[in-house]
Structure 1
Amino acid sequence: MTQREKELAHLLSGPEFATVRPVDQSVLDYSLLTLRRARILNRAGFSSNAQWLGRGDRTRFPDFLRTMGWIGAYDLSLLNVLVSHQIAGDALLSHAGPVQVRSYGPEIDGMGKVYCFAASELHAGSDLKRVLTTATYNPQDRQLVLSTPEPAASKVWIGNSLHSGDVAMVLARLVVAGRDEGHHWFRVPLRAGGKVLAGISIGRAEPKGGVTANQTGVLTFTDHRLPLSALMNRWASIDADGVYRSALARHRRFEECLATFTHERLFPSVGAAHAQRLACAVTTRFAAVKRAFGTPLLGHAHYRTRLTTAAGRALASRYALEALADIAVERAADGPPAGDQVLHALISCGKSGSTGDARHTLAETRELCGGLGYHDANQIAPLLHDYEVAVTFGGDNTVLGYQATRYALRQRAEFDRALDAAAGPADGPDAVRKLRAICDALLDQVDAHGPGEATTRWTRAVHQLLALGRWAATVDGPLGRRLLGQYAASCVLEHALTALAAGILDRDDVLRLEAERQEAAGAPFEAGDLLEVLAVPDELITAPIARPDFAERHVAAAHGGRILAAVGAPGYREEFVHDRSA
């Protein structure tokens, strides 16, 4: 753990964060508490737009990403409140002119006002090219008129907006003199004195299936008047004669408007990676104590196989995100990350892989803890509930795959060089070399037949390659090497049909890899060794089932009693269950 991670873990174990959601709180109170916590983290310097690539010291970006991941493991709602504010802030900072940046930059970095990111519409969804919201220039008073032309064009799933949002960054089409000039960003105040402004309606996009404390709204605009200064004017303006001017060709404006999404997709990815590690740590502690048929759960080979498979996915997501952070830092030296299509494709694969694997890892670890794992206080069930949607927000994983393959094929030589570097030296592990060849075979299929099932398999293979290349370069200790070998074999076997068809594997290779996987998966290990490899801060492991005396505490809490602290168990108090500091 880095020093910064230790500082964050200490803060997240403090009194302001003692209970993720107090049991007697309404959803509204929980959302307001989460917003207060977001501001605490912002004031403590853990989260701000100043730490994004291209704004501050880029060498500190991986540390920033790690801290955002632990915030997401603590509570995805809290991560989303911060991310909703930051991606909206980035839309302004990336597209505003110098005067606009000076005017609004401080309130973004200090969360003086709460920002909302208003891009998606009911029908457009991830296909933002189809947004219908318009901002029409009125030459009589030199104002803009913001309108929602039909219900399907309402802005939806707008985080932070329902109760507290002060400003929305709205993606809309600019219409000047009857001509649609394409996509632009607009700064739109939503409230004054706590009241929603005229011409703006904010409805409920709730209740949701999870992430309940990120208050989400549906925004509809009815001839809402805006000053001309609401138009972000770094590359677009309307002069005194009412003539629209832009340095960008019309077809380039949409791509420029989407520049902020490169960062956005890293946040759910790293949150999902850290949430998987937390769930595996809770399960490991539980399995070392809970007995079945007279033996701790870790004494059963099949249980160990399931747990190490989950741990492998969790660690792979960690290493894939570490690799992506370093790649982003390195490539940012040559230009802004927002316009880097190769980086965008790599991050899209990482997002798809990490969030997709989180659904399986969190479901598996919940089941490995039995019914006790389903208790809200045991951390895994809330994580499973929340992270299921991560495959959709930040860009639907399937849509991202289509976009990523398009970029990879468009810049095939440069993308291949990036994958070669991520895979490591040519004399590295055999499974890594085979997976590198599988990535090429799958992209060739997409090139020949168009996007489809091969696209999904390709995005997974790229994520796995990023993970294995980084993991193989940093692996330490017998258990770490064993988990790496088990995961590597599983990855190649997952793509066995592609590899057999392409001549990358033969029948004997498949049988050998399966034997290696089975041998590694079921072998005994010490719980402490796996916890050391997972490297989850102790302060974040608060689940009652992760404690040696969970049975006594669970029964005492069920009957409303109190129980003394277990001898030698650090951090225990007499109070129990719903208090994270217990």
Structure 2
Amino acid sequence: MTQREKELVRALAGPQFAPVRPPGLSLREYGLLTLRRARLLNEAGFTANSQWLGRGDGAAFPDFLRTMGWIGAYDLSLLNVLVSHQIAGDALLSHGGQEQLSAHGAEIDRMAKVYCFAASELYAGSDLKRVRTTATYDHADGTLVLRTPEPGDSKVWIGNSLHSGDVAMVLCRLVVAGRDEGHHWIRVPLRENGTVLPGVSVGRAEPKGGVTANQTGVLSFEDCRLPLSALMNRWAAVDADGVYSSPLPRHRRFEECLATFTHERLFPSVGAAHAQLLACAVTTRYAVVKRAFGTPLIGHAHYRTRLSTAVCRALASSHTMEALASLAAVRAAQDPPAGDQVLHALISCGKSGTTGDARHTLAETRELCGGLGYHDANQITPLLHDYEIAVTFGGDNTVLGYQASRYALRRRAEFDAVLDEAAGPPGAPAALRQLRAICDVLLDRVEKHGPGEDSARWTRAVHQTLAVGHWAAHPGGRLGGRLLDQYAAACLLEHALTALRAGILEADDLLRLEESHRAAASPPLDALELLEALGVPEELITAPIAGKDFAERHLAAAHDTPPPVATRPAAPEREARA
């Protein structure tokens, strides 16, 4: 771990952050506590908009992204509070003119005001081209009139907005002289000294199934009057005569408005990757101390296969994020990341893959820990509930597949070159080349038949290619190489029908793959090696089932008595091998 990561996890284990949700707090109090924690992390320099690609040191971006990942493993609500503020801030920093940056840049970076990101609407959902909120320019007094046409056009799932948001960055249609000029970002103050401002209505988007401490609201606007300076004017202007102008054609304005999402999709992805690592670490520890039929759980072959499969997905997600962070840093040094459609497509594939895999990994590890895995204190169930929604926010994964495949086809040669490089590390398994070929076959199908099921399969194959490519370049020792072989074989088996139809694999090849997958998954596992490969900081593992005394600790909690030993579970000993 880097020094930065070590300092972060020490902070997350400190008295201001432990436990994640102190007993007795109402939902509102928990949300306000989480906001205070977000500001503490921001003040300590762990996270801020100045560290985003294109603003801070690009070489330090992978460290920043890992920091956000561990925050997401600690508590997705905390990560979402930060991301809601930062992506809203990025909308201003990316689309505002120089005067707007000077006026508001500092308050964004310091979290002096809490920002909210207001893009999604009830009717439009992830199809942001269909948003119907309007900002109409009134030339008589030089103001913008923000309006929600129908209840279904309300901005929904707006993080930070319910109790605390000071400012919303609102994606809307700009109407000037009766003409719809398309999508623009508007800076909208929501509160002054805690009081909601005239023309703004804030309702509840709660209770939710998870991510409960990120206070989410429903925003609607009625005759909400704003100065013209609320319009982000880097590429849009209304002159003294009330005439609109922009150097961008109308369709490009929409694409420019969406560019800020490139970053947003990295954060649920890296959180989902680190959450999987944490769940697998808790499960590994439990599998050493819990016995079934006289043998530790990790000593049963079928249990090991299921555990190692979950670990493979977790490590693959982590490798995908490392690959994307490095790639993004390199590309951002050449061109602004906001306009990089190839990077946007790659990140969308990574988001779809990591968040989709998190649903399976967290469900599997919960089951592998039995009924105790369902206890809130044992960390896995809160992660399972929270990360379920990650496949939807930041862009629904299916819709992202449609968009990403269109971008990849538009920039096919450049996109292919990136994947070719990812698939070419020395000594990579043959499965990597075959996965790379499957990406081409699926994208060809999208080009022929249009976005659909093949888009979803293609995003999976791209995610897996990035994961296996980075993993092959950083195998992580004997166990890492064995898990890589297991994962690569599983990926090819997932795409078996596509590979057979395209002639990439023959039936006999698939039979051999199944055997190699079984051979890689069934041998004994050394718990300490496994925990070392997962790399989860000790400070983040608080689950009672992760310690030898889990039964005593569970009963102590049940009877509200002090725990019998120190609050941190001990690591398994070296002899814990099956």
Q: Normalized against structure 2, the TM-score is what?
A: 0.97
- What SS does the aligned partner of 2:157 have? strand
1: CA distance, partners of 2:444 / 2:35: 46
1: CA distance, partners of 2:257 / 2:301: 52
- The aligned runs of 1:509-524 (5 Å cut-off) are 509-524=509-524
Q: CA deviation at 1:517?
A: 0.6
2: CA distance, partners of 1:559 / 1:124: 49
Q: CA deviation at 1:476?
A: 2.2
Matched, 1:242 2:242: yes
Q: CA deviation at 1:444?
A: 1.2
1:97-139 Cα distance to aligned partner (Å, 9 max, x none): 0011011000000000000001111111111111111111111
2: CA distance, partners of 1:358 / 1:455: 20
- The aligned runs of 1:164-203 (5 Å cut-off) are 164-203=164-203
**AA in 1 matched with 2:168:** A
Q: CA deviation at 1:277?
A: 0.2
CA gap of 1:519–1:446, structure 2 versus 1, over 3 A, is same
1: CA distance, partners of 2:476 / 2:163: 48
Q: CA deviation at 1:427?
A: 5.7
Contact 1:8–1:46 under 8 Å retained in 2: yes
CA gap of 1:516–1:172, structure 2 versus 1, over 3 A, is same
Name 1:579's counterpart in structure 2. Answer: none
Name 2:268's counterpart in structure 1. Answer: 268
1: CA distance, partners of 2:386 / 2:439: 31
Q: CA deviation at 1:426?
A: 7.0
Matched, 1:224 2:224: yes
- The aligned runs of 1:36-55 (5 Å cut-off) are 36-55=36-55
Contact 2:546–2:569 under 8 Å retained in 1: no
- The aligned runs of 1:53-72 (5 Å cut-off) are 53-72=53-72
Contact 2:353–2:463 under 8 Å retained in 1: yes
2: CA distance, partners of 1:244 / 1:432: 51
**AA in 1 matched with 2:421:** A
**AA in 2 matched with 1:450:** G
2: CA distance, partners of 1:180 / 1:67: 41
Name 1:28's counterpart in structure 2. Answer: 28
Q: CA deviation at 1:428?
A: 2.6
- What SS does the aligned partner of 2:141 have? coil
Name 2:526's counterpart in structure 1. Answer: 526
Name 2:6's counterpart in structure 1. Answer: 6
Name 1:356's counterpart in structure 2. Answer: 356
CA gap of 1:467–1:568, structure 2 versus 1, over 3 A, is closer
Q: CA deviation at 1:566?
A: 6.7
**AA in 1 matched with 2:550:** F
- The aligned runs of 1:467-546 (5 Å cut-off) are 467-546=467-546
Name 2:110's counterpart in structure 1. Answer: 110
**AA in 2 matched with 1:438:** I
- What SS does the aligned partner of 1:16 have? coil
Q: CA deviation at 1:570?
A: 5.8
Name 2:413's counterpart in structure 1. Answer: 413
Deviates most, 373-382 or 324-333: 324-333
- What SS does the aligned partner of 2:564 have? coil
Contact 2:119–2:171 under 8 Å retained in 1: yes
Contact 1:486–1:517 under 8 Å retained in 2: yes
- What SS does the aligned partner of 1:146 have? strand
1: CA distance, partners of 2:71 / 2:497: 39
Name 1:100's counterpart in structure 2. Answer: 100
- What SS does the aligned partner of 1:459 have? helix
Q: CA deviation at 1:563?
A: 4.3
- What SS does the aligned partner of 1:209 have? coil
Between the aligned residues of both structures, percent identity stands at 76
**AA in 1 matched with 2:439:** C
**AA in 1 matched with 2:343:** L
2: CA distance, partners of 1:246 / 1:550: 63
RMSD across aligned positions (CA): 1.3
Contact 1:135–1:172 under 8 Å retained in 2: yes
Contact 1:349–1:404 under 8 Å retained in 2: yes
**AA in 1 matched with 2:294:** G
CA gap of 1:141–1:362, structure 2 versus 1, over 3 A, is same
1: CA distance, partners of 2:550 / 2:403: 47
Q: CA deviation at 1:40?
A: 0.4
Q: CA deviation at 1:477?
A: 1.6
Structure 2 residue runs without a partner (length 5+): 572-578
1:118-163 Cα distance to aligned partner (Å, 9 max, x none): 1111111111111111111111111111111111111111100000
- The aligned runs of 1:555-570 (5 Å cut-off) are 555-565=555-565
- What SS does the aligned partner of 1:362 have? helix
1:17-46 Cα distance to aligned partner (Å, 9 max, x none): 011111211100000000000000000111
Contact 1:172–1:184 under 8 Å retained in 2: yes
1:35-87 Cα distance to aligned partner (Å, 9 max, x none): 00000000011110000000011101000000000000000000000000000
**AA in 1 matched with 2:278:** L
Q: CA deviation at 1:556?
A: 2.5
Name 2:576's counterpart in structure 1. Answer: none
Q: CA deviation at 1:568?
A: 11
Deviates most, 45-54 or 556-565: 556-565
Deviates most, 504-513 or 417-426: 417-426
Contact 1:424–1:473 under 8 Å retained in 2: no
Contact 2:53–2:337 under 8 Å retained in 1: yes
Name 2:347's counterpart in structure 1. Answer: 347
- What SS does the aligned partner of 1:15 have? coil
Structure 1 residue runs without a partner (length 5+): 572-582
Name 1:404's counterpart in structure 2. Answer: 404
2: CA distance, partners of 1:111 / 1:428: 45
